[in-house]
A and B are shown apart, each in its own frame.
Chain A
């Protein structure tokens, strides 16, 4: 193709890119506004239960997506790290005279948060440093092993928790008896996490991380410390998962090893998979689908007839994931992308035989 022919093509593709990006941003901004206004019209159950849980799971799942999309690492340790933060909050805030397990330090809740996040970040750094020299399937296996060992650590080390777990963990006064405030704080935190991850992607660190994802050998020969980048990304993801874990334990009021066992660990992965492991927004979308399915599926009239009750929820989740993995490994976001692609192709076809007005107007802009 001649240079004169190539230039408009490139300009057009740049324009398409810009349009796509802004469309994505508009949708995200609208969703954020909707989420912030939700307490005005949503039912209490929907806001304080369904959506609060969605935000917590969304943040935790976003850390999986961040590691997978930018670092090429599918981590199963994120729920463990959230749990570490939760256990640390529990150990720190429960008062000495309370009837519960744990260290019962009786600290100020905000000090406890700092402590929990510091411990979680340190744990994430060590675990990340050990796993960072592997990728792909090895990384998945090692982090799954972390998750299961973490379950046994908190289960068997009774001074920290024991299998009974820690109960009676009160959130700080700001959120105690104010579930709507907690929800709004979670929305704000979700936005911060989302923006931070997206901004990080275009920083030198984020670009190096994506380079390492695509070709670690080349990046190493260019002088980048491959395992250090991976370790730091894992540490950052661990810190963020810790934030979700703090809110999770405030919301639940208790934490036990079963809540970080292999089942919930897979649930979180499933949330990320439903949304699509390469799409950051998908984390929250997947979380919503998961929580909504968990809460509303049993209300469907037919469900009882085929013998799928709430108790068999895991079967439904499993089948859902199986279907997604068979049909579209990129999850719902992938399905949406595919539909969008299909629509555009349709529009393209119809434009070839006489353009639709909107498309024609958009296309004729210089």
Chain B
């Protein structure tokens, strides 16, 4: 263990330096010092928070499944990508255009219906995967990780074979694609809409976990699975439901992420598996609270680092993702809200 003052310094010194830099010193960056360019600063913060919303939707499903079943679902990114493709198929059919879909063509229904349908499809796929491949080796976490990894390889290849390497369109509904003014800057409504959906998902998840009997069983199962089983609760059913919900969240995240990017393309599955992993490693595997904290921290780093790096050096922003991970791992190896086992 590191001495306490070292771990404190490891957190506060970089934070203070970053704050000083962003507030006063950041000349010659794309955003400029926050005291001179408050609008840019607010917009960057909003970027961070809205992206954190998307991160939370995806990572909460990942962490929920792990928290209860100790299954690291490496196919989480594949469920994300699969849902985005399903939504793309339904949306193009509903709009009646193959390419060049404009957000104005997309009615609210032509977004919500694909969202729910895609979520349902991958929830079903997740359930199938859990029942056929993961149910009987419960507890062998490495084996399960490798099984889901194999599934993600197969899924990526099959999706590539079916949808091709070219990006396919997926659009927000026209009703949310406006701009509004904030501190002198234009900002996209769709990003706030994404945050709204994320907040709704988070609220429903909180209600489900904290205000229902099923949620109580799940929280108890996270703490002590054997005890829950011994109390005569059908934990196999709870496992299946949790997997359905976790996969559904990956699907919702996939549709949000696809609409956010405007298109669906191969390779997104790996990127979003990474995003989920970073969030849960920071926040602590298995903790929904940790997923919130991890999403916010990671979202902020993703938004702030390119904006406040000197022009010409913005490509170093990926280093900051690693730095965030390194600091958290050095101070709390199990993540912010993780439990050491």
Contact = CB atoms under 8 A, between A and B. Distances in A.
A142 B145 CA distance: 13
Contacts of B326: 130
Given A138-B334, A149-B322, A318-B151, A74 B142 contact: yes
Interface string A312-345: 1111011101100110010000000000000000
B334 A134 contact: yes
Q: Kindly state the interface size class of chain A when it binds its partner.
A: 35 or more
A60 B145 CA distance: 21
Contacts of A153: 318-319, 322
A318 B154 contact: yes
B142 A326 contact: no
A136 B157 contact: no
A144 interface: yes
> Per DSSP, are chain A's interface residues mostly helix, strand or loop, or mixed?
helix
Interface in A31-78: 74
Nearest to B141: A137
Contacts, number: 120
A314 B277 contact: no
B150 A325 contact: yes
B274 A145 contact: yes
Contacts of B154: 314-315, 318-319, 322
Nearest to A76: B149
B143 to A, nearest CB: 5
Contacts of B274: 144-145, 148-149, 262
B30 to A, nearest CB: 15
A141 interface: yes
Interface in A123-148: 130-131, 133-134, 136-138, 140-142, 144-145, 148
Interface in A272-323: 273, 311-315, 317-319, 321-322
Contacts of B146: 269, 273, 321, 325, 329
Contacts of A74: 142
B153 A141 contact: no
A313 B154 CA distance: 9
Interface of A: 74, 130-131, 133-134, 136-138, 140-142, 144-145, 148-149, 152-153, 156-158, 261-263, 266, 269-270, 273, 311-315, 317-319, 321-322, 325-326, 329
Given A322-B147, A326-B147, 19 more contacts: A134-B329, A138-B281, A138-B333, A138-B334, A140-B145, A142-B325, A148-B277, A152-B318, A262-B273, A262-B274, A263-B156, A269-B149, A270-B153, A314-B154, A315-B158, A321-B146, A321-B149, A329-B142, A329-B143
27 contacts: A74-B142, A131-B329, A134-B334, A138-B281, A138-B333, A141-B280, A145-B278, A148-B270, A149-B274, A149-B321, A153-B319, A156-B315, A156-B317, A156-B318, A157-B315, A157-B319, A270-B153, A311-B161, A314-B153, A315-B157, A318-B153, A322-B150, A322-B151, A322-B154, A325-B146, A325-B147, A329-B143
